[in-house]
Chain A
């Protein structure tokens, strides 16, 4: 119970005391101080009990329960993995990072549907798209060795390797060139320059 609740309680109790005094006056009762306080306490207890049952009837969902339910709702979608929920007085605040805007909106919808949630504060952010990894180019030495292996069975072509670029010249049949090009591309060159190549029939 926080400080504010104590204030409310004290205020409420004084009200009971005053009310009790009025009743005493109305009924022309003369009570000593002790009796007055006892009766006030009784009244206070009665009213407190009644108000307690009234609140109970409203079946107000506790914030902690809402939080649990909201977390369960979010757990059903792997896109919501990075989202956390906080609930205060029925207001759910969701925060974290998701991959796109549709997941961001869907998370809000999902939490808003949870019983007891009055509103949703959506603090979820969208992750920036992943930057593509740079292209790996094989250094010239291993590349030249790979080219030598690849061209061994194609004596009609000559190749040079310079700064990642494989230059192919000579003459090849289309089918053989396709085969060679597949091998050369697999070596991860910067480029395969076939401008010096003639395709024979």
Chain B
């Protein structure tokens, strides 16, 4: 229960900001926080609180898996790489051949979600393939 007390501000914020399916569980010295945030802003806000409570996330006593609900098939997403192009691959995995590239800040269409890490996307040029979800920011978040 000690971890729940330590991260109370975080879990309270998650509950207050409309995170659905919120689950907070403590097991073997790790606090697992799962849920679906209504948008990317809420997710960022939660990660900022986590950073404040455990600077640079170095203690390793939290696994926070908060997804964003607005990344639905058919929606648009912006390529948010640091500065480089985003690889579009034949299959979901970095071991898959690259079939195309989406430019930094290009807007692509989300076709489907293979899992939380890999999304099938289509560029405006009609290139279709799998991209790493972390570099895609759904519009509106």
Verify A149–B25 contact, CB threshold 8 A.
no
User: Which of B6-14, B53-61, B105-113, B119-127 lines the interface with chain A?
Assistant: B53-61
Our pick among B51, B67, B117 for the contact of A178 (Cβ within 8 Å) is B51
Verify B27–A178 contact, CB threshold 8 A.
no
A96 at the interface (CB under 8 A from B): no
A190 at the interface (CB under 8 A from B): yes
B65 at the interface (CB under 8 A from A): yes
B30 at the interface (CB under 8 A from A): yes
User: On chain A, which size bracket covers the interface?
Assistant: 20 to 34
User: Quick one: which of B32-74 are within 8 Å of A by CB?
Assistant: 32, 47, 51, 56-58, 60, 62-65, 67
Give, as a whole number of angstroms, the nearest-CB distance from A189 to chain B: 6
Verify B65–A188 contact, CB threshold 8 A.
yes
Give, as a whole number of angstroms, the nearest-CB distance from A37 to chain B: 80
Interface residues of B (CB under 8 A from A): 23, 25, 27-28, 30, 32, 47, 51, 56-58, 60, 62-65, 67, 82, 93-95, 116-118, 132, 134
**12 A-B contact pairs sorted by A residue (CB < 8 Å):** A132-B25, A134-B27, A135-B27, A149-B132, A153-B82, A178-B51, A182-B47, A187-B117, A189-B63, A190-B63, A193-B60, A197-B58
Interface residues of A (CB under 8 A from B): 132-135, 145-146, 148-150, 152-153, 174, 177-179, 181-183, 185-195, 197, 199
